[in-house]
Chain A
Amino acid sequence: MTLPQPTDPGAVFERHRREVYGWAYRLLGRHHDALDAAQDVFLRWLAQSRRTLPENPRGWLRQVTINRAIDLLRRRRESRSAVDVSLVPSTSGDRDAAEQEELRCDVAAATETLTDAQRIVLIAKVYDGMTFAEIAAESGLAVPTVKTHYLRALRAVRDRLARRWGPERNGS
């Protein structure tokens, strides 16, 4: 599953740029904001790699990306404008763009309220499809702790969504 991690900044960028962009986009919902966040993250990676190279670049990048995205969300909260929906592929049966944006905002807002550990575990599990054991190895947490974080994070997001969309959306 785990490939040898590149240490060259260019190789790290090539290998992880889509992931970094994806993590940022899922939280930010805007193409250019996600690109800005990704750029910041890789600049930080460059600075970090000159000092001490993180043992797990992917985990480091995920954590920094999520934190950066949360920072950007907080900054723009009061001046929220229309999302860049032109880049969201639309196919029949998809939610319409406005509903996607509302959902994304609620998920992002819920994610913002989580602890760092809960946030990392949730993103890694839901969007990266990692196993609990992989997340535990990457984060240095025990597997049962990872599972606990996962369930607590998931419940927090559910409760946030239920407040706006109603409990019927959540199958209860």
Chain B
Amino acid sequence: MNADDIKGMLAEYLGDELSPEDRRRFEEYLDTDREFAAEVASLRCTLDDMRSLKVPGEGAFAVPPRAAERRSWPVPVLRYAAVILLAFAAGFLARGWSGGEVGSSGAPPAIADFRPEQPPAGWQMRFATAYVKNTSKSGLARSLVSLAQATR
């Protein structure tokens, strides 16, 4: 096996595909050809550099905490919605019992304050519409603001 044959095994050597016997011959030749040995060393170092680049492991595929929180949004949001609906229901009951809007003092409003052009279901419907359009938590917050403005 001459020098050219040995040098022809460079790809297999760097690719770890030489048989033990050929590998021994190859490395023996490196001791006799310093220029070629330097070439081999530089390519080996490049391979080491490339292989040193790390890739995140299994953790990279885990759902981040905030995303996990987002994914479970229906439960708390539904809980909030249930509380709000209960509050609405209580409001309706209070209205029914009192015959009008309940003032801040708890006393029934005067007949003159009653506004039939704004039926009680209006703001509830607006809230429901806004809520359906915005199912995220921030959307729910916006809906609550709209609700507060509508009922002011």
Contacts and interface: CB of A to CB of B under 8 A. Distances in A.
Contacts, number: 86
A31 B55 CA distance: 9
Given A25-B56, A88-B54, A147-B12, A161 B41 contact: no
Interface of A: 17-18, 21-22, 25-26, 31, 87-89, 94-95, 100, 103-104, 107, 125-127, 131-132, 147-148, 150-151, 154-155, 157-158, 161-162, 167, 169-172
B55 A21 contact: yes
Interface string B22-57: 000000000000000011011111110111111111
Contacts of B10: 151
Contacts of A161: 46, 49
A22 B109 CA distance: 69
Given A147-B11, A172-B38, A26 B17 contact: no
Given A17-B61, A172-B42, 20 more contacts: A21-B60, A21-B61, A25-B55, A31-B56, A87-B60, A94-B54, A100-B53, A103-B52, A104-B53, A147-B11, A150-B11, A151-B10, A151-B11, A158-B42, A158-B43, A161-B46, A161-B49, A169-B45, A171-B42, A172-B39
Contact of B55 (A26, A131, A172): A26
A22 B54 CA distance: 9
Interface of B: 10-12, 14-15, 17, 38-39, 41-47, 49-57, 59-61
Classify the interface of chain A: helix, strand, loop or mixed.
Answer: helix
Given A31-B60, A103-B52, A107-B53, A171 B45 contact: yes
Nearest to B52: A95
Given A154-B14, A155-B43, A170-B42, A89 B53 contact: no
Given A21-B60, A104-B53, A107-B49, A154 B12 contact: no
B43 to A, nearest CB: 5
A131 B15 contact: yes
